């Protein structure tokens, strides 16, 4: 579904991505782990053409999108949805209008149908009945879930989740984990989940990639990761900084 080859990205004076090779297969859920600031969000944005690589190729459904002009990327973005780390809700619209936005853009006009789909999407993220609230009156975790509802409402074939559970309470996290699983099983959605939450990783992943110093340091199943002897991976899994007091 998505394949990147020799992906390099320099932002400012910093080389954030230094040659990423990764393939996301159709229907799988791939989790990308990595320390904060290692370039996970940057990598994810390349998958929908929000950033253009300094060099390298990005294929979506076999088409190289790395050099595609903005207007032609619209086609790709109908297939691949992205949940932003910040939620990125439109603050001029209320929750309901935010979620209805992709539907209206897709040409849906019937208000009853839109309303029904919006309610259904909100239900999926445990926010039933919150249509009228404005984004500035939501908590961080609620914003993220509304962002998630906006991403899944138009049923893209592939969804990129940027830290879907960060900032959520354990119960809401768990229900998002189940939601990601359910999307894969029932609607055979391909998912890429960026996270540092090991629980999310183990729960949702078919495969796990570990991003380190701008490269894919590890790629394998959850079990392989758990039983790895590599100190870099072990420290991350166990949450050890190596400091003592």
Instruction: Say which entry of Mg ion, ligand ATP, another protein, none residue 186 contacts (CB below 5 to 8 A, set by partner kind).
Output: none
The SS3 assignment for 125 reads coil
Is residue 30 within the footprint of another protein (CB under 8 A)?
A: no
How far apart, in whole angstroms, are the C-alpha atoms of residue 16 and residue 81? 23
Instruction: Say which entry of another protein, ligand ATP, Mg ion, none residue 38 contacts (CB below 5 to 8 A, set by partner kind).
Output: ligand ATP
Is residue 101 within the footprint of another protein (CB under 8 A)?
A: yes
Among 35-43, 89-97, 198-206, 215-223, the segment contacting ligand ATP (CB under 6 A)? 35-43
Strand order in the sheet with 215-220: 80-83, 158-162, 190-194, 29-34, 207-212, 215-220
Tell me the closest approach of the beta carbon of residue 158 to another protein, in angstroms: 12
Residue with smaller CB distance to another protein, 21 or 105 = 105
Among 40-48, 59-67, 102-110, 217-225, the segment contacting ligand ATP (CB under 6 A)? 40-48
Helix (H) or strand (E) holding 212: strand 207-212
Residue with smaller CB distance to Mg ion, 47 or 96 = 47
Sorted by sequence, the CB contacts under 8 Å of residue 223 that are 6+ apart come out as none
N-term to C-term CA, the chain: 47
Among 2-10, 53-61, 79-87, 217-225, the segment contacting Mg ion (CB under 5 A)? 79-87
Residue with smaller CB distance to Mg ion, 18 or 78 = 18
Q: Which residues pair with 162 in a beta bridge?
A: 194
How far apart, in whole angstroms, are the C-alpha atoms of residue 83 and residue 72? 21
Sorted by sequence, the CB contacts under 8 Å of residue 102 that are 6+ apart come out as 81, 150, 153, 154
Residue span 73-102 as binding mask against ligand ATP, x where in contact by CB under 6 A, dash where not: ------------x-----------------
Q: What is the DSSP letter of 152?
A: H
Residue with smaller CB distance to another protein, 114 or 233 = 114
How far apart, in whole angstroms, are the C-alpha atoms of residue 10 and residue 106? 34
Is residue 41 within the footprint of Mg ion (CB under 5 A)?
A: yes
Among 10-18, 101-109, 110-118, 232-240, the segment contacting another protein (CB under 8 A)? 101-109
Q: Which residues pair with 210 in a beta bridge?
A: 33, 218
Residues forming the site for another protein (CB under 8 A)? 45, 48, 50, 70-71, 73-75, 77-78, 81-82, 84, 86, 88-91, 101-102, 105
Residues of this chain that interact with Mg ion (CB under 5 A) are 41, 85
């Amino acid at each position: 579904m998505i394949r990147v080859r020799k992906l390099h990205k320099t932002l400012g004076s910093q080389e954030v991505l230094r040659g990423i090779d990764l393939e996301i297969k159709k229907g799988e859920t791939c989790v990308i782990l990595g320390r904060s600031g290692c370039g996970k969000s940057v990598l994810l944005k390349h998958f929908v053409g929000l950033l253009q690589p300094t060099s390298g190729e990005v294929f979506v459904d076999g088409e190289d999108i790395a050099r595609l002009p903005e207007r032609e990327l619209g086609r790709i973005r109908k297939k691949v949805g992205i949940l932003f780390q910040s939620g990125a809700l439109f603050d001029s619209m209320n929750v309901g209008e935010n979620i209805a936005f992709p539907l209206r853009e897709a040409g849906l006009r019937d208000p009853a149908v839109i309303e029904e789909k919006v309610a259904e999407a909100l239900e999926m993220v445990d926010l039933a009945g919150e249509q009228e609230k404005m984004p500035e009156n939501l908590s961080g975790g609620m914003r993220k879930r509304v962002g998630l509802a906006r991403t899944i409402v138009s049923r893209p074939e592939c969804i990129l989740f940027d830290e879907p559970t960060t900032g959520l309470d354990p119960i809401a996290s768990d229900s998002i984990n189940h939601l990601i699983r359910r999307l894969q099983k029932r609607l055979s959605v391909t998912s890429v989940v960026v996270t540092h939450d090991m629980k999310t990783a183990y729960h949702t992943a078919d495969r796990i990639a570990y991003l380190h110093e701008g490269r894919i340091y590890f790629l394998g199943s959850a079990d392989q990761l758990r039983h790895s002897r590599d100190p870099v991976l072990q420290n991350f899994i166990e949450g050890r900084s190596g400091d003592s007091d």
